[in-house]
Amino acid sequence: MSVASPNPALALQSKRWNGLRHLLEREGPFCKGDFSPSPDNLEFLQTKCKVLVIGAGGLGCELLKDLALVGFGDLHVIDMDTIELSNLNRQFLFRRSDIGASKAECAARFINGRVPTCRVTPHFKRIQDFDETFYSQFHLIVCGLDSIVARRWINGMLLSMLRYEDGSIDVSSIVPMIDGGTEGFKGNARVILPGFTACIECTLDLFPPQVNYPLCTIANTPRLPEHCIEYVKLIQWDKESPFNSVPLDGDDPQHIGWIYERSLERASEFNITGITYRLVQGVIKHIIPAVASTNAVIAAACALEVFKLATSCYDSMANYLNFNDLDGIYTYTYEAEKSETCLACSNTPQLLPIEDPNTTTLEDVIKLLCESAKYQLKSPALTTVTKEGKQKTLYLGTVKSIEQATRKNLTQSLGELGLEDGQQLTVTDITSPTAITLQLKYQANEVEMI
Annotated catalytic residues are 216
> CA separation (Å) from 403 to 228, 355, 379, 395, 400?
32, 27, 12, 7, 5
CA dihedral over 411, 413, 416, 417, signed as positive or negative: positive
Short-list 23, 29, 59, 54, CA closest to 41? 23
Buried b (16+ CB within 10 A) or exposed e, 347-373: eebbebebeebeebbbebbbebbeeee
| Number of Cα atoms under 13 Å in the Cβ half of residue 309 | 28
Q: Evaluate whether 79 touches 104 at the Cβ level (below 8 Å).
A: yes
* Cα–Cα distance, 298 to 323 (Å, whole number): 8
Q: What angle do CA 115, 147, 80 make, to 5 degrees?
A: 50
* Cα–Cα distance, 447 to 113 (Å, whole number): 69
Short-list 44, 42, 45, 67, CA closest to 55? 67
Buried b (16+ CB within 10 A) or exposed e, 77-107: bbbbebbeeebeebbbbbeeebeeebbbbbb
DSSP at 361: B
DSSP at 236: I
Write out the H or E segment, with its range, that includes residue 44: helix 40-47
End-to-end alpha carbon distance in the chain: 72
* Cα–Cα distance, 150 to 312 (Å, whole number): 28
Q: What angle do CA 48, 51, 52 make, to 5 degrees?
A: 145
Residue 249 phi, psi dihedral angles, 5° rounding: -115, 110
Q: Evaluate whether 59 touches 298 at the Cβ level (below 8 Å).
A: yes
* Cα–Cα distance, 179 to 199 (Å, whole number): 10
